A and B are shown apart, each in its own frame.
Chain A
Amino acid sequence: MAYATTIEGTRFTFPDLKSLMAKATPARSGDQLAGLCAEGPVERLAAQIALADLPLKTFLEQELIPSEADEVSDLIARRHDAQAFAPVSSMTVGAFREWLLSPDADAPALTALSPGLTPEMVAAVSKICRLQDLVAVAAKRPVVTRFRSTIGLPGRLSTRNQPNHPTDSSEGILVSALDGLLMGSGDAVIGVNPATDSLPDYIRIVELLETLRLRLNVPTQHCCLGHVTVAIDAMARGAPVDLVFQSVAGSQKANAGFGVDLAVLREASDAARALGRCPQGGQVMYFETGQGSALSADAHWGVDQQTMEARAYAVAREFDPLLVNTVVGFIGPEYLYNGKQIIRAGLEDHFCGKLLGLPMGVDVCYTNHADADGEDMDALLTLLCAAGVNFVITVPGADDVMLNYQSLSHHDAVFARETLGRPPAPEFEAWLREVGVTDARGLLRGGAGELPGPFADASRLLPGRAA
């Protein structure tokens, strides 16, 4: 079915729902690369006007990717809750935007609505939202998850402490993790991206992080971000696995490119839960996503990259995760060209994830070949804090020496706490005071690398420094 709109006598037509969605998408290089984007700002507005008039329920009647050929589409269709959808079922996309912004859409209403929304619906409405809309709506939708810390409570910001090392050196990982803890980072997770993906290294890394956690009694959880199949093998060997990680995307073919499907994710989730490390009612899965991953795997089905990203959230939602984050600026300028595109994408991803009910975080980041810099990241962090993001990722001095890109620094977490008034998870906030990292007001003490008593003990984990 074709869609059309007329602007001052010029008729713009869009042959199908996919092309309407793609052409209504705010400009970004990935859709240009795929040959899907609007030819210019006027055609884009024409598509947005036509999209605003589209009944929301159209997305239940027409699939962008057929269920018969794609298990993600099948999952979206199977899990749709018609009763939860009822309050907005007669709205157009444009009226849905207005309702989301209205006081009627409060936290209980948005929470009840989540199972009734599909990724395509939230992607569609995000395309006609400006940045302020994306912030305002997401800020009304808290999503709280728990393991040893409670993440996503309103008014708080958690952090992933990411102590990567180019060769996975135990000492290198440990001192980097300590650096982050001394700056107050790590209440969402202490999570290492391994340089190697071997089982012995995976086990060594989680054992190292477990020892650190126990020695310092940190109320947090840890994760080695190896492949899910390696995590399954490690759990079978009794490794102390808190969280199981996997990158996921919005189509079966793109997930196959990551070497996963829904069945293996279910197996991993069940195995992690069976370890009994997570308290009752808590969560054990950690997912990362990012706009462009489906296109780069040639698995996007002619669908725009932002809608494909929202579809990845349907995969994540199936497994009740503790943490989900988009790695927004990592994939490169052929997908998100500059700071403006990265900032918008970060806010879109957070908005879509939250509306679908995910505990959404963002890796606020960029590569050196993108037209972006640390100031763009300052802006995105500040906007995300206003939007109520669950967590961000921080590394020493904003420089990830393993993945060769720039994320936020541990200092940025201090900025969020002290200037934006976003303390960490309550358990971790109390711990920071107890061990002397922060003072009674929650402000960073000293900072210059002096190790408070409990940390001096942790440094004895280093070889040759045993007491």
Chain B
Amino acid sequence: MARIPSTSRRALLFGTAAVSAGALMTACTSNEPTNQEQAADNAPVADDKPGKAVTIGFAGPQADHGWLNAINDNAKSRAKKYSDVTLEITEGSNDIAQQIGQIQTLINKKVDVLVILPADGKALTQVGLQAMRAGIPVVNLDRVFASPQAYRCWIGGDNYGMGLNAGHYIGERLKDMPNAKVVELAGLDNLELTRQRTKGFDDALKNYPNIKKVARQAAEFTVESGQAKMAQLLQAQSQFDALWNHDDDQGVGALRAIDQAGRDDFLMVGGAGAKSAMDAIKADNSVLKATVLYPPTMAASAIDLARGLGQGKGVGGLAEFEIPSSLTLYSAVVTKDNVDQYLPTGFS
């Protein structure tokens, strides 16, 4: 439970910083010429120009889910962009022992920097420490290690912030409606991140006394479970005004259930940022009006950070000499108004 306060504090501390970082990342991924001019003049800043050659080791879990697959793709295509970066990517694995072995192999190969998305943050802390002691800086991606000593820099999404932003978005849309009812379709309940998302959502709704959360069911991040649980929710709640669904993958099933039940009397907000969800938002022909990002572009950013670490440079857009030790990404709300900007980052 120690993570929740720290995450929320992080969310507050980095409130403003994250906004600008988020903007920066967005700028990067949309492949516009970056605004390097704005960077502090005296700090060496990582840029697109070839520099010292860097070998980056990348270890992630098995890509059995659209989002994780997008993580791998983002990392690979980002690395390809730089002629000075060699990416050593391991076969993804959900087996903790196997992943530890893979990372140890990368350490033995003496890669310059490691980017690790652990299958389980707590369980892989030791191998993170090993790498750091061996003098290899570690960029810890998303699932955080148990000790800050196990990584040089952490970059990841904000589960609490997702819930918070989804809640705020729904709150603003329904704030003039008396006795508004909200329903939540959560993800896999065994995971801490699901509970963080729900907590953020609940905290945001507290700001709107006219809104009441009337039901919550947990699906399993799969289309099939999304369909099944949503069908039950629709049967249980004959009328409600808004729905937050934690995950766009299970959202495919949820939308299917909504379609089958012939319901369109509420607004739906998704989560994570799948391409199918963004397409639906853009088309504006379903109940899905927005989705809260948990951007897989963080993997591309992690490659940038790793390259910066390898070349001893800081991040553009900040006055700092060093790369920050922690970067929490902003869970932007994607609506019809800004969907075009995010569409390229949508994953399938």
Answer whether A and B are interacting partners. no
Q: Which residues of A approach B to under 8 Å, CB–CB? A: none
